[in-house]
């Protein structure tokens, strides 16, 4: 226990989309010595603001968020990139005498930060492009079946239409002759050098979460989400297979612009896709160790969170 207390403190504030993470984070930052680090694979993209519920200028003035607006939507960014960036930002915050508050719903980023990342081979554009063309020509379920014969463990974790991860798993094998599962098995675990308290915010009633998701999606549409996606669509250098365009909501709006369905169906599909994302996030969270659950609807949510943080020596009871 003494060794744990010697580590600097940090907070993981996790939860499904639209669960109220940001609101709680703002309250913590305004009352306690914390700084926010975004843990969101969509907020990293410049020009993708409305559909990602990115903090606006006023919110940024209240509580600056690190690791947002990092790259152009045409560029790539990995979980390993995130780990390196997050560790750097955490060190800066700690050196300033404050507590890193990592907020978001990209569970893979949280996992890489907690456990370390396998040293995977660098991408080879020629191999990636060929696998992309094969996936588009044969269908991603066919490439998923191919992966299952090579790396059953990785294939079992992926859905047959998870094109990005299927493509990467096959690429790693072709480049190195080793499967992703082998790389992970050989990985040297790098313990996170922080005393972390894990919080998750989520409504106890799934219906409440679904209502919050639908309301927020329609609010984003009213705020100009269509124009935001259209601007990306008309750039000419982006396509539906890029991670940025595959972000929830953006892919459905992109398909609408492609004429695959009408406007109202786009909205409905966007809401459904967001609900599916939330379900996956909750599944991840249920297996997360040492997790303290908080109810979004708790009228004393901040106090409930502080009680846990005080008990775990993140803040003193008098702060």
Compute the C-alpha angle 81/89/77, nearest 5°. 20
Closest CA to 98 of 315, 317, 318: 315
Return the pLDDT at 159. Answer: 86
In whole angstroms, what is the distance from residue 133 CA to residue 236 CA? Answer: 19
Q: What is the dihedral of CA 232, 240, 166, 168, to 10 degrees?
A: -40
What contacts 71, CB < 8 A, 6 or more positions away? 44, 45, 46, 77
Q: How far apart are CA 98 and CA 116, in angstroms?
A: 23
Q: What is the pTM of this model?
A: 0.83
How do residues 167-202 score in pLDDT, each as one tens digit? 999 999 999 998 988 887 776 667 799 999 999 999
CATH numeric code, 125-186: 1.10.20.140
Residues 259-314 have pLDDT tens digits of 999 999 999 999 999 999 999 999 999 999 999 999 999 999 999 999 999 999 88
pLDDT at position 316, please? 58
Residue 1 has pLDDT above 70, yes or no: no
Which tokens hold the place of 103? 């907020």
- Of the chain, the percentage scoring pLDDT greater than 70 comes to 95
Residue 120 token pair: 């995977």
Handedness of CA 140, 145, 146, 150 (dihedral sign): positive
Distance CA 126, CA 11 (A): 41
Look up residue 252 and give its two tokens.
Answer: 């459905």
pLDDT in tens, 115-143: 886 677 888 888 988 999 999 999 999 99
Q: Which residues are within 8 A (CB) of 214 and not within 5 positions of it... i.e. 6 or more apart?
A: 271
Neighbours of 311 (CB within 10 A): 11
CATH class of 2-117+189-311: alpha beta
DSSP helix/strand/coil, 49: coil
Domain definitions of the chain by residue range: 2-117+189-311, 125-186
* 140-172 tens-digit pLDDT: 999 999 999 999 998 998 889 888 889 999 999
Which residues, 6+ apart, have CB-to-CB distance to 50 below 8 Å?
220, 223, 224, 225, 228
Beta-bridge partner residues of 292: 199
């Amino acid at each position: 226990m003494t060794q744990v207390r010697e580590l600097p403190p940090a907070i993981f504030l996790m939860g499904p989309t639209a669960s109220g993470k940001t609101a709680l984070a703002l309250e913590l930052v305004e009352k306690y010595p914390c700084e926010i680090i975004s843990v969101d694979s969509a907020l990293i993209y410049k020009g993708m603001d409305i559909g990602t519920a990115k903090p606006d200028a006023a919110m940024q003035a209240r509580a600056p968020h690190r690791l947002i607006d990092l790259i152009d939507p045409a560029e790539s960014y990995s979980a390993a990139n995130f780990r390196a960036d997050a560790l750097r930002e955490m060190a800066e915050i700690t050196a300033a005498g404050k507590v890193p508050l990592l907020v978001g719903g990209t569970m893979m980023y949280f996992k890489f930060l907690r456990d370390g990342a396998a040293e995977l081979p660098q991408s080879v554009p020629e191999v990636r492009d060929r696998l992309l063309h094969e996936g588009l020509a044969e269908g991603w379920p066919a490439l998923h079946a191919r992966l299952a014969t090579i790396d059953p463990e990785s294939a079992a974790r992926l859905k047959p239409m998870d094109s990005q991860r299927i493509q990467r798993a096959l690429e790693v094998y072709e480049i190195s002759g080793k499967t992703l599962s082998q790389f992970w098995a050989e990985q040297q675990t790098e313990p996170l050098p922080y005393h972390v308290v894990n919080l998750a915010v989520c409504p106890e009633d799934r219906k409440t979460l679904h209502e919050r998701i639908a309301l927020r999606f329609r609010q984003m549409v009213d705020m100009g989400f269509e124009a935001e996606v259209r601007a990306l669509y008309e750039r000419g250098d982006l396509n539906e297979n890029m991670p940025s365009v595959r972000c929830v909501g953006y892919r459905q709006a992109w398909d609408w612009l492609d004429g695959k369905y009408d406007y109202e169906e786009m909205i409905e599909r966007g809401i459904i896709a967001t609900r599916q994302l939330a379900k996956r996030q909750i599944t991840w969270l249920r297996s997360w160790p040492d997790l303290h659950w908080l109810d979004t609807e708790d009228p004393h949510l901040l106090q409930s969170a502080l009680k846990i943080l005080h008990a775990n020596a993140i803040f003193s009871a008098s702060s």
